[in-house]
Amino acid sequence: MSSTTTWGVVWIAIAVLLGGCSSPRYYWQAEHRLKTDDFFLSQGHFAVYYPAGIQLSFPGYIVGIEDSDKAATVDEGDLVVDRVTHAGSSITQLSDVLAEGPQVPYISQVIHYTGESLGAGNCALYSLYQSDLPDLMQFCHGNKQPRIGAWSEYRSAYADSWHAIDLLKEALQRDVATGKYTHLVVAMMGWRTPQEEAIRNFNSIMRSLQIAAGGKFRPLFVGITWVGPWAGRWLDPIVEVISYGNIANLADIVGLTWLGVLTDEIVIPLSDQVDTVFITHSFGARAASTAICIGPAIRRSATTARERPPGSVGHLIGFEAAFSLQRFKKERLFPIYEDIFFPADCARAKSIVLTASASDSATRTILWADLAGNYRYFRSFCRSNASLVSCVPVDERGDLEGEYDASKRVLYLDASELIRFKAPGTDGGGHSDVFRPPVGHLIWNILAKPSPQRHAGPR
């Protein structure tokens, strides 16, 4: 076959493949209006397409947070953002970006899972992915929330997210009132973790924790999924370095928006009825720490009070966290990369536990940011900040090797013996080795001890 003929066959094959892409997806109207139809962003709502295939294997909720153009998701006057000035100039700048920039996060789904076989009873408390045809993900009680109307006129994804918060709050309040649960768990994975992978990871973590607890752990679970640009795993580690700033900012903005609202309006008010814990990984730990330690920058309306509620979260656990512990230090001589600090040393978390591992090459790649998961940073920080952190090694079984000082603000763990294997389908060396049973054993070791009593001061 001549080269001309060969290339002709290739182009015909390409044409056939491109022609095959013309069929619309089931929720194409919603995706088109929300601008979540590209390859990466569509990975933030796969659960509504596969209600039995992508699901929690135990009872719980998934909250899907997506990010789109304001022109497609915000009506004029709906977005009310406070200029946050109490946590450093970098957070002030991010609140300005949220108020004035082109993008805004919103809640696209709140899905309730029953844990039953083949997804029996799974339903959406709230979902923007609706169709004129029968919905693939059934709505709870047959009640579509929100009421969309004509897709061509819909611009209320941001405003309707407050309704999603209310629906989740009502559901969790009913659940807690039954007295069946020992812990309210909020879990969040890091960047480039599509919704399908995040739910798989949630199942792994909770199974490992359940095994370790031996029946003493009955969780009321809320998993947060989020997807940013470049959510795939191509061109590593180049993409990791180039895109770090954008993804780091997005993680903080998620903390300043819906994760912060969920923390203030749902988790903290329930903390006097059930133990509360955030189990997070990588950039998920960054978003959660911003949500808990700084709080939301958005309000329901210009007349809504901004005050944070009294109370605190029991535990904030961050595996291989993608933020700097310099955030616990208000006075810094050279804030070269960022100027961010946690007011009152993040008193809204009674217990803060972070890990670092010598096998984590992902956090080691970002040389300028002093990420907590970076083992070199762990060693230097422990040497020079003994008044802030208690640094303890963890063995391969997930047991802490020695006593630690519970009076210190952060329990900083050398998890090099525990977090050391490369998880299939992931990058960053041992960065994602947090889903095996020994990690569940470590989490239970932490949860089984009472949280230190700390006063959550004013915002």
Q: Cβ(231)–Cβ(194) under 8 Å?
A: yes
Model pLDDT, residue 234: 41
How many Cβ atoms from other residues are within 10 Å of residue 59's Cβ?
18
Q: Cβ(376)–Cβ(326) under 8 Å?
A: no
As a residue count, the chain comes to: 459
Model pLDDT, residue 330: 79
Q: Where are the beta strands (DSSP E) in 272-388?
A: 275-281, 298-299, 313-319, 349-356
Model pLDDT, residue 21: 54
pTM metric for this prediction: 0.92
> 263-290, pLDDT tens digit by residue?
999 999 999 999 999 999 999 999 999 9
Model pLDDT, residue 155: 94
157/405 Cα distance (integer angstroms)? 46
Domain boundaries, the chain: 28-447
Mean pLDDT by 10 residues, the chain (459 residues): 49 47 88 92 95 96 96 95 96 98 97 95 97 95 94 95 98 98 97 92 97 95 84 48 83 98 98 97 98 98 90 97 93 74 95 97 87 96 95 98 92 98 89 96 94 56
Model pLDDT, residue 18: 47
Q: Cβ(390)–Cβ(339) under 8 Å?
A: no
Model pLDDT, residue 367: 81
Question: DSSP character for 59?
Answer: S
Per DSSP, the residues of 317-335 read: EEET-SSBGGGG-S--S--
19/320 Cα distance (integer angstroms)? 44
Model pLDDT, residue 33: 96
